[in-house]
Structure 1
């Protein structure tokens, strides 16, 4: 396979919210996705206020680029969970350092999108923003291993629930 490469530019940046990435307790985290006003007109967000949720693609910009683990390893280094490969994880240790998050859209203020439960920290470059369409969600039965439920049980809990 040829190594295809291409350039990607951020369309926005996360403002506010959390400053440190952590494994859990993202529930209730509020921040703003500030779209680049030099490249996008105010009407770039027209119609977005009709949606309750967004899907956001972002860059894990604080991750150490030498901390790439393409092979199998135990999630969160927990010996009770099975080793899984890089494509069996959703963490930041990825070749392109891309994250995908679904968050609540609270308000649209021009090119500022006020959101909740976005698991990206202040200063995170946002690659793309899409409204969540229910019809584009999973179809059919959903299957996943039990360890994912254990690992993520506190992911969207509030910080005061710890």
Structure 2
């Protein structure tokens, strides 16, 4: 199996300070582009409402990886599903993709909201979100992701009990 190295291009500054399953909404943070990249690499990004962010679960440990089926959040209401059916840090490469709203750009800083990463998270890639590159055709999914996420995932963080 081939391996490769990836160098972070940016770091999340501020926003969430601890890893939590819910109440991700309404938190502003900064994606700070590293000095290695010239400012013109961000030229034009302010024209977009959302960005695609690939990031690493940097607080996860290799022993957190689970290569077996289990119920989401270990809740027996939901069916056991495999590792690649979950969107959490228990994946082999511990990578995530998020689509935060872009509020503004200030030099190397992208001000975003609704980024479900924590302060200090390494960002591996940033791209504008193109509607035409989203899912094509009818999107299908079982009921459990909606049940799990609609409850409180994007609820405002300041409403956290």
Shorter-chain TM-score range? over 0.9
What SS does structure 2 have at the residue aligned with 1:100? strand
| 1:51-78 CA-partner distances (Å, limit 9, x unpaired) | 0000100000001220111110110000
Give TM-score scaled by structure 2 length. 0.96
The two structures have a TM-score, normalised by structure 1, of: 0.96
Higher helix proportion: 2
Secondary structure of the 2:40 match is helix
- How far has the Cα of 1:88 moved from its partner? 0.7
Tell me which residue corresponds to 1:48: 45
| Alignment coverage as a number of residue pairs | 159
5+ residue gaps, structure 2, are none
In the alignment, structure 1 segments of 5+ residues that lack a partner are: none
Q: Is the 8 A contact 2:64 2:89 kept in 1?
A: no
Partner SS, residue 66 of structure 1:
helix
Partner of 1:152: helix, strand, or coil? helix
SS of structure 1 residue aligned to 2:100: strand
**Paired position in structure 1 for 2:63:** 66
| Structure 1 residue 4 displacement after superposition | 1.4
Which portions of structure 1, spanning 4 or more consecutive aligned residues, are displaced by more than 6 angstroms?
none
